[in-house]
Amino acid sequence: MRTLRTLQTAALASALLLTSACQFFGSVDRVVVQKGERGTAMEINYVARDQAAAMANLQAAMPAILPPAGPSPEGPLPWQNVQVLNDIPVAEFNRTMISMATWVAGAPGNCGYCHNLTNFAADTYPDGKAIYTKAVARRMIQMTRQINTEWTEHVANTGVTCYTCHMGKPLPNGLWFYTNENQILRHYLDGAGARVVSRTVAPNAVNRSSVKQTEWTYALMISQSQALGVNCTFCHNSRQFASWEQAPPQRVTAFAGIQMLRDLNTNFLAPLASTYHPSRLGPMGDAPKAQCVTCHNGVYKPLYGLQMAKHYPALWGGHTDWTTPLAAPYTKPVAVDAAAMPVLDSTGAVVTDTVSKQPPQ
């Protein structure tokens, strides 16, 4: 009787697993594009079947790009206590403020989200309490310029604006806080590297990678896959996941994105802990931080690659040419001479050197 129940349970589990797999591959929201030889599993699964329709829906839902700013009035700048956007014309300043109210606070008239409406220059409310949203917004403008200027290897000529992450609401998706020292998302701040490459079966002095480290890396890769709405071969070659030479160029772009997140979380977001209202902090008192899904929101290019930043010069920083294609952040892979590679034994020790093919002395 027990055997029969076991078989029934196994059959039911198999049916559920098969059903889930069929639903995954047969989803109307998924499209598969082959990018390698047949049988090598080199294919990319995109979440949206019709990218053009998805982008059209996005553009219909997002706020319109404001027309270019007109001429600014002559004379000295009228602003007081402008600490960040003090290098752009008055008309562009006003246009940027209206846009930011829409992108972050949901409507162009929501100036009160970051300002004392009785005194726009003040950094405090009429009751004397600090306007933390204004202080945070200044730092976010600096961060946006940093991304568009210093991280073109990741954002290229697409660039970012406040809307890229906020999408019309104060808090972007995917914000995270400290939980424990083994938290996967600390890879985007102060965690260790994610690479786990083993050339031997058993751990040894050279290979100290554990199953725990492998699972940690796997969980991190899955989170990135879901954040971009793609599968593993978007960035990896199925025949050799560890090889950079055989990987698609998107892997270099993704690596630049990880380095960018570490820069942003370390130098811009985490240091704001003392600025935020306590209600915005995590259980351990840390500031909210970003990860891949914060900007990507489930698609391989945020906003499906819509070039929004080029319309808002206040957010450009040092990136002023949004038309000329940027140089690829990678070079042509160097051909690998297999005959020149060292031969390792089962412990990872070198059996022959790369020159004489003789055992090392």
Amino acid making up residue 271: P
CA quadruple 100, 105, 111, 112: dihedral sign: negative
- DSSP lists the bridge partners of residue 34 as 43
Tens of pLDDT along the chain (361 residues) come to 444 454 454 444 444 433 444 444 444 566 777 877 777 777 777 766 577 787 788 888 899 999 999 898 887 778 899 999 999 999 999 999 999 999 999 999 999 999 999 999 999 999 999 999 999 999 999 999 999 999 999 999 999 999 999 999 999 999 999 998 889 999 999 887 777 777 777 777 777 777 888 888 899 999 999 999 888 999 998 888 888 888 888 999 999 999 999 999 999 999 999 999 999 999 999 999 999 999 999 889 999 899 999 999 999 999 999 999 887 665 554 454 555 555 555 554 555 544 444 444 4
d(CA 147, CA 263): 10
What pLDDT, on a 0 to 100 scale, did the predictor assign at position 349?
A: 56
What pLDDT, on a 0 to 100 scale, did the predictor assign at position 241?
A: 86
What pLDDT, on a 0 to 100 scale, did the predictor assign at position 360?
A: 40
What is the DSSP code string of 93-104?
HHHHHHHHHHHH
What pLDDT, on a 0 to 100 scale, did the predictor assign at position 286?
A: 97
Q: Which of 173, 177, 145 is nearest to 160 (CA)?
A: 145
Could you tell me if 188 and 291 are in contact, meaning their C-beta atoms sit under 8 angstroms apart?
Answer: yes
| Segment (H or E) for 17 | helix 2-25
pTM listed for this prediction: 0.80
Amino acid making up residue 35: K
